[in-house]
Amino acid sequence: MTRNIASPASPEDGVPVSCPACAASTERGERGERGERGEHGEHGGYGAHVDASHPAPIAQDVARSPLDPWLAARLSIPFDALSPATVRARQGDLLCEAVRRALDAPFYRARLAGLGLSHSRPHSRPLSLDDLPGLPFTTPEDLREAGDALLRVADDAVARIVTLPTSGSTGSPKRLRFSDADIERTVDFFAVGMTTLCRPGDVVAIFMPGQRPDSVGNLLDRGLRRAGMQPVLLPPAASGAEHAARLAETGAQVFVATPTQARALADAVLADATLADSMMRDQPLAPRPRACLLSAEATPPETADRVRAALGCEVFDHWGMTETGYGGGVECAAHHGFHLREADIHVEIVHPLTGAPLPDGQTGEVVVTTLASEAMVLLRYRTGDAAAILPPPCRCGSPLRRLGPVRGRIRRYGNHWDIITLAKGVRP
């Protein structure tokens, strides 16, 4: 069952509280009378401690996110006119199309019928993003239970099915379907997003699995080749030392790994001077990787610190999930939030209990609508991630909004919510 509680939060809901350690404001996560609070999300979760309430000054020496010109082209907005308002207006158009496509799927035909939305009458007037809070949420449980009812294309138009295991012994696994066009958009996003940290000709070592067609490593490999880089898919390794040895063999300027893999690699290098020396000796022209991208899991700040200490490389973080077609957002060189893939997805932050939209800067649950998906549309999908939208502009000069660090997972209990950190190796 999906709840759609779009009423504004009561004044007692999610009262912003001041953190004595940093003076940043966050939501305590209680409803009604304040009671015992759980873990403090701003400190209990992952991610650098970013002040979400004030934009930082633009830095002249930080390159602007390459996603901006890409978004301008994809959204047909003149580059100089890029702004949260122009992107939002264009996303409203895309939402109309997404709802129309969603109505092809039996699940959404039933779910949206109560709102008067049907194939013959997809919407009485063009929708805007202001209408989004009136649409019902889609939950992970919906995704498990609906199965094929979320599919809106014929089986032979599905190019890839990803099955995500469910926790516990009950329930069906989540199955995501992607068409060739869906996959192409992800490859396109990877090609552009990776130019944030890669230069043409760079050797890029990929630790993610990529042997299967359309697996995440395979899509990244294709995106990198398209952008003029030289990707190298590495076979699975049993230890951090093995990761380090393989990375050294490639001579890579950049590598892509999960935080768990990168942490093991960094620990091995820091613990073994011989290993560190061999990496440098084997790569006389580029003794250490220049940069790395951490992806597929939440990145604890201490992991990023450890990788920097061991390898001396710049660490970029990526946010995404299978439900968004893998890619979702990537840090720019300012390292102050994820620049979002706004041509393909719209991100909302909602109150975890009431479902009411929260203003920029307030931490809540990340909700995603896939605006361009062909095989399977997700309207207002509750990700369970806890994060805030950071107010623009970014220090790189982008005027667009960004998603702040993922603090952990939303946990609801009774009239309370809090944020729990994730076990090592668990993706957000």
Residues binding Zn ion (CB under 5 A): 65, 332, 334, 394, 396, 398
Task: Find the shortest distance in angstroms from Cβ 196 to Zn ion.
Answer: 9
Is the peptide bond prior to 393 cis by the omega test (within 30 degrees of 0)?
yes
Is 215 strand, coil or helix? coil
Question: Quick one: 33 or 80, whose CB is closer to Zn ion?
Answer: 80
Question: Quick one: 15 or 56, whose CB is closer to Zn ion?
Answer: 56
Q: Report CA-CA distances (Å) from 97 to 101, 187, 272.
A: 6, 22, 55
Task: Find the shortest distance in angstroms from Cβ 334 to Zn ion.
Answer: 5
Question: Quick one: 136 or 337, whose CB is closer to Zn ion?
Answer: 337
Task: Find the shortest distance in angstroms from Cβ 389 to Zn ion.
Answer: 14
Q: Report CA-CA distances (Å) from 206 to 135, 147, 257, 327.
A: 39, 32, 7, 15
Q: Residue 190 carries which DSSP code?
A: H
Q: Report CA-CA distances (Å) from 252 to 127, 247, 422.
A: 47, 7, 30
Question: Quick one: 341 or 380, whose CB is closer to Zn ion?
Answer: 341
Question: Quick one: 196 or 370, whose CB is closer to Zn ion?
Answer: 196
Question: Quick one: 403 or 410, whose CB is closer to Zn ion?
Answer: 403
CA separation for the pair 129, 203 (Å, rounded): 41
* Burial of 37 from C-beta contacts in 10 A (0-12 / 13-18 / 19+): middle
38 CB neighbour count, 10 Å cutoff: 16
Task: Find the shortest distance in angstroms from Cβ 335 to Zn ion.
Answer: 9
Task: Find the shortest distance in angstroms from Cβ 395 to Zn ion.
Answer: 6
Task: Find the shortest distance in angstroms from Cβ 398 to Zn ion.
Answer: 5
CA nearest neighbour of 292 among 269, 263, 321: 263
